[in-house]
Structure 1
Amino acid sequence: VILMSLGTMLQMCTMQFTEQPSALNVVQTKAGAVEGLNVDTGLFPMVEEFKGVPFADVPGKWEKPKPHPGWDGVLIATKFRERCLQVMLLQTKTQGSEDCLYLNIFVPHGLSVSTNLPVMVYLFGGAFLLGASDDVEALGESLYDGKEMADGGVIVVTVNYRVGTLGFLSSGDERLPGNYGLWDQHAAISWVHRNIRAFGGNPDNITIFGQSARAASVNFQMVSPYSKGLFRRAICQGGVALSPCSVINLSHFNLKLYKKITCKTEEDDMLACLKAFNPIKLTMAGKINLLDIFGKDPVMDLLQLAPVVDGDFIPDDPGKLFHNAAQFDYLAGVNSMDGHIFAGINVPSINNMKETTTTDQVKGLLTGLTKDKGDAAVSSAFDVYSVHWGLAPDPAIVKKTVADIETNFLFLVPTQIVLQLHANNTRSACTYSYLFNMKTRIPGFPRWVEAEHAEDLQYLFSKPFSLPLLYFPRHRDAYWTNFAKTGDPSRGNSKVPVLWPAFTKYHQPYLVINDSMSKSSVSYDLRSFYVKFWTQTYGQLPSAGT
């Protein structure tokens, strides 16, 4: 009898929940009607997914995105669409399509259909060369699947946009001004602003966020004059617009790429020649030669395609445009070893426990990073980074120093500069700084390796929920969703372990994020010794050849 009663109660509870209105069903956008799929995440509430919703028409080669012409009937939006045409990771062939400007929306519902929710628009990473809104599958699930994060009470949107040659080729003049991938991002954010209310979102409470190259893209969207009023908050993870590989200042056409495409530079109809070229060959022209990577010049020197100062979307050097970003609440930080993967490419011995990393190898790396300044910069930087070694340094300390050099140079110092620029320019918005330092989960790396580049994403997209046996506890997505809701990562519906103080013009606290947080997780002046070197001492050194 007791078992029957329990069964009846469970059945009644199940009927009660299934009878509640917890789906939008058909949503009317400006271009047409779309229908998604209600997904049981194993938690409560439910999440409704709309995958493959077009936010623009099929783009023309090196043209700004145009509005989608619309469709009749109801678009069934239950599958991710193809990524934009790009080289694959090993650079041997391409994947994707030119018909790729689609986005995905993840909407949480409780006992009633959601309304007026905060919105988070995610921009994926990939060195401006590759990536997609549904990138990297783990046990059959996309890493960027937004349903677990949406469970925190926010609408999550992930978007596609052009990358590589078709997204960032530029002639440095009006023929091919460049930044087409940035224009795609802008079009997607604009679409969300116009349409998200129909999905239960608040168009006046949109947060854009991204990692690596697309964290830099977040900065570009912030400083562009075209973004005024489109979103309210921004988050940069492991990359900013001032990172060395984030922007290319072009004064002439990229001849290296041009020669691969075999159009003659003296032709007046250069653009017509390029547009008539096979899109796959155009895409392969922008690939990285992997044979040039290991043990040679810094990886950033191999990247040929990136945003440019075009006088339009990016009208000036990004560092001079942060007055445009003063309106946005801003949160930014790095992983403690964001540069390790790049350091391991430039100095492979750091990951080989049987091989010693020599002083000459450290100086060789510094030579590549500081070639604009010459020998004096190498000597000065080496003194700064070896000061704690002692007379007989532990080999592991020398190897960790190599990782710290690339982390600081490529990510941490530029991020600190941008945080200061934002804090200096804003009057009413807030600024927050963090360091994520979980131990690496990548097998085979030495014990001293902490959070690797992009290793934060598994925690951010709540894989500890969907794959609980593989992960430690995490707090990061709670801070992120709180920030999206209120502008304060400590205040919102999600409980956090430590209050996170704001970064200001004269006061630079940061939060150390890991799985064992306490009041001591709040610290100040992140790696200020190295930040001062790169921003002051290094900057005052004469340029090479002066």
Structure 2
Amino acid sequence: MGPLRVENGEFPTFLLPDRKLVRIEADDVVSARSGSNIRHPCLFCEHSDDGNLLFTAYQLQTKQRHRMGAVVSIARSPLVRTQSGPIRGREYLLNDGRVVDMYMGIPYAEPPLGKLRFQFLNIVGKDEANCLTLNVFTPRWRENTDKKFAVMVWVHGGGFSIHSSSNYGDTSIARNLCVKDVVVVSMNYRLGPFGFFTTGDDVCRGNLGLWDQTLALQWVHDNIEAFGGDPDNVTVFGQSAGGASADLLAISPHSRDLFHRVIPMAGCGECDFAMRTSEAQAKLCREFARYLGWTGEDDDSEGLLHFMQAQPSSRLEVGIHPKKGFHHSQSGNLYFVPNFDGDFFPRPMAELRREGPRKPIMCGTTENEGLFFVALGGFPKTTEGFRRFCNRIFRECDYGSDEESVRKDVYDFYLKDVDPKDRGKVTERMVELMGDYAINAGMMRYVRKMSEIGNDVFFYCFEYYNPDGFGFLRFMLPFKGATHCSELRYVLGKGIFAKFRPNDADLEMIDIMTTFFTNFAKFGNPNGDMSVSDDHQLWEQYDPKQPFRHLRVQLPMPAMADDYQRRRTEFWDKIFARNRAKAML
């Protein structure tokens, strides 16, 4: 079966040897008229010589030579035999003649359809062709055939509600990360209600998106050696909700032994957006079901589950922003997130952190995390708008009788010395508030906690940005700076806001970031192999005695600094200590 070509926008079907008809779908297709290229991969099913279904991952055939990379070949990659069947991919030719093999759309779990919606899934069988998938990017070169590559597993973000692995690159991963001698895996997992719906009891505990991620890690553990990867040297990395997922996977007894290092970027389990109590998440799920038309009693969990299973998928799709008619959050809080379920998280979070195996950690934030949220949220850049936003935040948090006092403390902390007529300064403080509340304070608590219990931690703040790299977002930004998602293009090589056309400075930052990330994956230290030489470490390990010391990632050269976010996170430690719901996690 050759590369798929489609005429008139129709997807074809193929008659396989056993006379079963299989429909092949693609996100983008090759036009018969123009010969334009497939942008996203699609999964082909055919029979191998031994009678098993053969999953063949076809990737784009492009005529464009990337500035940093190469070209996708029409040649197939070597056949890899896995526990879920044989798999063949496509090869990516680097300019120096080396090859990265790309295996796209590999099923790792049963299709979550019908009665399997909102249920735990199993590892995929050999006859499954439509299910949760992952992608493997592996260097073909090895100086020593016995040597295995370190493995990096990417968990995408998107507020636990949007995006997929395809949003974060394919060939860009091959030419930016794999070129530095690592195998990279990216995965898809259930999102929104599909991944994080719960009834709050044994009927549906929830956290299915995390269970999916765990299944993907189990698949990696069982199969990655066949791709040249080392199952005993696996790093999980993710950003935003993906960073929170990476952290939560590292502490759950169900997943923590499946990998060895972790890189949470701009998100972790300590961030306010990342977790709810089971009761709070179940209440939200009931409210959402009533919005859809459910009329059952609050304690009718079986009826609620059956109602949700019967809904068309289109009715259950929830983005980051509220659906029309269902305005749950007025402060930007996410809808469907992990919950403290007593199963994936069988004991309190602090206890799970203490009892888990020590893992090296590399983590950080951008300089202006809140800039992204202020731009997309459209918050008024006035003192009154600031006050209204504070009201929304703390109305939705469990501060009890302290709510009014907390609101006043936050308002005074950020605006007490600001002239209300200085809208530029008010906007800066709004950006600080959003970043501190959503990301910075939680990441700082995470760094401190994990270091204090014996983990080696490397902490950074990403400050570099290209002023021409914001795409559509530039029209909404009150000012430009490194913000939420800015660092991703320098790790994965793909822009989130706009197409990434790196200039010379960008290329320099890509080399810096990918070196840090791949060094950490290979050696547990972003500085490289310290067993060879430890004469100079650019990036110092975090020291709780210097709690705000971190690496400023900037040009011309990253450097250590002592004043993370001007120490504002100290204030938030006192605020979060008054949150009763957080104390229950």
* Of 311, 334, 346, the match for 2:342: 311
- Mapped to 1, the partners of 2:272 and 2:481 lie a distance apart of 22
Give the AA of the match of 1:504. Answer: D
CA shift, 1:297, in A, is 2.3
In 1, distance between residues paired with 2:239 and 2:486? 10
Alignment of 1:193-342 (within 5 A): 193-251=221-279, 252-253=282-283, 254-266=285-297, 269-270=302-303, 273-274=306-307, 276-284=309-317, 288-289=321-322, 297-300=330-333, 303-342=334-373
* CA gap 1:28/1:143 in 2 versus in 1, 3 angstroms: closer
Cα distance, 1:268 vs. partner?
Answer: 6.8
Q: Residue 499 and residue 199 in structure 1: after superposition, are their counterparts in 2 closer, same or farther (change >3 A)?
A: same
Q: Contact between 1:44 and 1:151, CA under 8 Å: does it hold in 2?
A: no
2:110 to 48, 54, 57: 57
Q: Does 1:536 align with 2:574?
A: yes
Structure 2: distance between partners of 1:444 and 1:394: 21
CA distance, structure 1, for counterparts of residue 368 and residue 538 of structure 2: 24
TM-score (norm 1): 0.79
Partner of 1:66: 122
In the alignment, is the contact (CA less than 8 A) between 1:211 and 1:238 conserved in 2?
A: yes
1:52 corresponds to which letter in structure 2?
G
Post-superposition Cα deviations, 1:484-535, rounded to whole Å, max 9, x if no partner, equal 0101101159x9x9710011333332111123225xx201252363111110
Quote how far apart the aligned CAs of 1:298 are. Answer: 1.0
Q: Is the 8 A contact 2:105 2:134 kept in 1?
A: yes
Q: Contact (CA 8 Å) 1:103, 1:157: kept in 2 or not?
A: yes
Q: Is 1:359 the counterpart of 2:383 in the alignment? A: yes
Structure 2 CA distance for partners of 1:211 and 1:537, relative to 1, 3 Å: closer
State whether structure 2 residue 228 is matched by structure 1 residue 188. no
Give the match for residue 155 of structure 2.
123
1:540 deviates by 5.2
Q: Higher mean Cα deviation, 509-518 or 446-455?
A: 446-455
> Superposed, which structure 2 residues align to 1:163-182 within 5 Å?
163-182=191-210
1:278-315, Cα deviation, whole Å (9 max, x unpaired): 34245237774366899x92111xx3211111111122
- Specify which of 457, 474, 494 is matched with residue 431 of structure 1: 457
Distance 1:404 1:467 in 2: 29
* Alpha-carbon distance change, 270 to 463 in structure 1, aligned in 2, over 3 angstroms: closer
Q: d(CA) in 1 for partners of 2:415 and 2:301?
A: 54
User: Which residue in the other structure is 1:10 paired with?
Assistant: none
Q: Is the 8 A contact 2:367 2:565 kept in 1?
A: no
The answer for unaligned runs of 5 or more in structure 2 is 1-74
Deviation, 1:234, is: 0.3
2:554 is aligned, of 514, 517, 529, to 514
C-alpha contact (below 8 Å) 1:103/1:188 kept by paired residues = yes
Q: How far did residue 396 of structure 1 move?
A: 1.9
Shift of residue 324, structure 1, vs aligned partner = 4.1
Aligned match of 1:418 in 446, 449, 462? 446
**Conserved in 2, the CA contact under 8 Å of 1:261 and 1:285?**
no
| Residue equivalent to 1:78 | none
Aligned to 1:35: 88
2:543 alignment partner in structure 1: 504
Cα contact 1:396–1:448 (8 A) shared by 2: no
TM (norm. structure 2) is 0.74
Shift of 1:226: 1.3
Q: 1:280, 1:50 → 2: CA distance? A: 28
Q: Percent identity?
A: 24
Q: How does 1:155-170 map to 2 (within 5 A)?
A: 155-170=183-198
Paired with 2:77 and 2:576, the residues of 1 have a C-alpha distance of 56
Match of 1:26 among 79, 84, 88: 79
Task: From the superposition, tell whether residues 105 and 435 of structure 1 become closer, same or farther in structure 2 (CA, over 3 Å).
Answer: same
Residues 213-244 of structure 1: CA deviation (Å, up to 9, x unaligned)? 11111111011011243111000111111212
| Residue 326 to residue 432, structure 1, CA distance change in 2 (3 Å) | farther
| Separation of aligned partners in 2, 1:47 and 1:541 | 49
Which residue number corresponds to residue 523 of structure 1?
561
Aligned partners of 2:171, 2:272: CA distance in 1, in Å? 27
Matched residue, 1:479: 516
CA contact (8 A) 1:326 1:425 kept: no
In 2, Cα distance between equivalents of 1:268 and 1:506: 49
Question: 1 CA distance for matches of 2:302 and 2:503?
Answer: 59
- What displacement does 1:135 show? 1.4
The correspondence of residues 388-467 of structure 1 with structure 2, limited to 5 A, is 389=418, 394-426=422-454, 429-439=455-465, 441-442=469-470, 443-444=474-475, 448-463=479-494, 467=501
Shift of 1:336: 1.4
| Range that drifts further, 274-283 or 55-64 | 274-283
Q: Distance in 1 between matches of 2:101 and 2:108?
A: 19
Deviation at 1:148, TM superposition (A): 2.5
- CA distance in structure 2 between the aligned counterparts of 1:261 and 1:129, rounded to whole angstroms: 18
Instruction: Go from structure 1 to structure 2 and tell me whether the alpha carbon gap of 1:388 and 1:324 turns closer, same or farther (over 3 Å shift).
Output: farther
1:89-111 CA deviation, whole Å, 9 max, x = no partner?
Answer: xxxxxxxxxx4311100011337
- Pairing 1:127-166 to 2, within 5 Å after superposition: 127-135=159-167, 145-166=173-194
Give distance in 2, aligned partners of 1:485 and 1:196.
Answer: 15
Contact in 2 for aligned 1:148/1:466 (Cα 8 Å) = no
CA distance in 2, matches of 1:378, 1:129: 29
Deviates more, 1:326-335 or 1:250-259: 250-259
Unaligned runs of 5+ in 1: 1-21, 73-80, 82-98, 350-356
Partner of 2:394: 370
Q: Structure 2 CA distance, aligned partners of 1:524 and 1:282?
A: 49
Counterpart residue type for residue 437 of structure 2: F
Give the counterpart letter for 1:116 in structure 2: K
Separation of aligned partners in 2, 1:23 and 1:203: 25
1:416, 1:388 → 2: CA distance? 25
Decide whether the 8 Å contact of 1:106 with 1:146 is kept in 2: yes
Change (3 A) 1:486 1:68: same
Distance 2:458 2:438 in 1: 20
